[in-house]
């Protein structure tokens, strides 16, 4: 006996979108959706890569990196689709998604275009969010261990000169990474990188002696704090660029190296303060 199966008639569903303008809007929306997914992948991969201590850039630098990643993600979604947007477009319109011609995007062009946005956006964020993002930079484990070897000397110097030990550690980590033999091209020496004139002024006879060097550097920090009415940011800027420049500009001098240095030290202060708590 031969069985005959009933024939099932499938009903063809009409495309939900037929207007060309609507199709173009749909295509852009789906590409943006795919860009969000690609950006998430980029951010996830970045978190798995250890940051270089010298790369800290603070809040503005991280915001620029996020903007850069999103622009790259949009470029990928438009020029080399992962297929997510295309499948959704076909389901809604019944057609293949039109190919998009995308001009090559250069990193420098993206950075230049987004710099003003990054600067303008920062003041609009909640204070708590800004502070949290600014605390992202921390010294590496090796630097923390190197600085930690001098805890006893640091605590003695902090008590003697009335300077917070976290600030002393932050300056050591930023100046010499805890290396007592560090010697810069500017002839700064030792843990807190004293130049000869500063060492003489604070009474350091042997800059290569960690105890003398840390005590001398801390004494100098105390003088700078007194000069700028306890303003830690200006004292730190003065330690790097000299108090005359800070006085001249009535604030942190517009020197990229000094501005980066101040951000880094203050972020390290937050980190070392957290260790004490």
Q: Which residues are catalytic?
A: 175
Residue written as token pair 């590409």: 31
Identify the H or E element spanning 215. helix 210-227
- Give, in order, the Cα–Cα distances in Å from 238 to each of 225, 261, 273: 9, 11, 22
Nearest one of 36, 33, 41 to 86, comparing CA atoms: 33
Token output for 60: 């503005």
Nearest one of 128, 134, 215 to 171, comparing CA atoms: 215
d(CA 140, CA 19) in angstroms, rounded, equals: 57
d(CA 106, CA 12) in angstroms, rounded, equals: 45
Beta bridge partners of 194: 189
Question: What are the residues whose beta carbons fall under 8 Å from the beta carbon of 2, sequence distance 6 or more?
Answer: none
Measured over the CA atoms of residue 226, residue 232, residue 236 and residue 242, the dihedral's sign is: negative
DSSP class of residue 124 equals G
Token output for 190: 């030792």
């Amino acid at each position: 006996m031969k069985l005959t199966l009933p024939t099932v008639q499938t009903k063809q569903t009409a495309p939900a979108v037929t207007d060309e303008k609507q199709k173009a809007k749909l295509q852009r929306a789906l590409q943006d959706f795919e860009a969000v997914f690609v950006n998430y992948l980029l951010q996830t991969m970045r978190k798995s890569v250890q940051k270089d201590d010298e790369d800290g850039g603070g809040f503005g630098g991280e915001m620029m990196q996020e903007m850069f990643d999103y622009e790259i993600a949009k470029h990928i979604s438009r020029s080399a689709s992962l297929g997510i947007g295309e499948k959704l477009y076909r389901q809604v319109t019944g057609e293949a998604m039109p190919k998009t011609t995308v001009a090559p995007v250069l990193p420098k062009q993206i950075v230049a275009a987004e710099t003003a946005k990054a600067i303008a956006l920062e003041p609009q964020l909640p204070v708590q969010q800004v502070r949290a993002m600014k605390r992202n930079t921390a010294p590496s484990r090796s630097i923390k261990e190197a600085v930690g070897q001098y805890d006893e000397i640091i605590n003695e110097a902090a008590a003697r000169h009335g300077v917070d030990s976290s600030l002393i550690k932050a300056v050591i980590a930023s100046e010499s990474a805890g290396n007592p033999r560090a010697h810069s091209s500017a002839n700064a020496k030792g843990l807190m990188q004293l130049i000869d004139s500063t060492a003489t002024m604070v009474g350091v006879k042997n800059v290569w002696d960690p105890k003398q060097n840390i005590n001398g550097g801390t004494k100098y920090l105390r003088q700078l704090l007194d000069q700028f009415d306890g303003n830690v940011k200006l004292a730190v800027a003065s330690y790097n660029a000299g108090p005359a420049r800070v006085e001249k500009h009535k604030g942190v001098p517009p020197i990229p190296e000094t501005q980066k240095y101040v951000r880094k030290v203050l972020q390290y202060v937050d980190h070392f303060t957290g260790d004490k708590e």
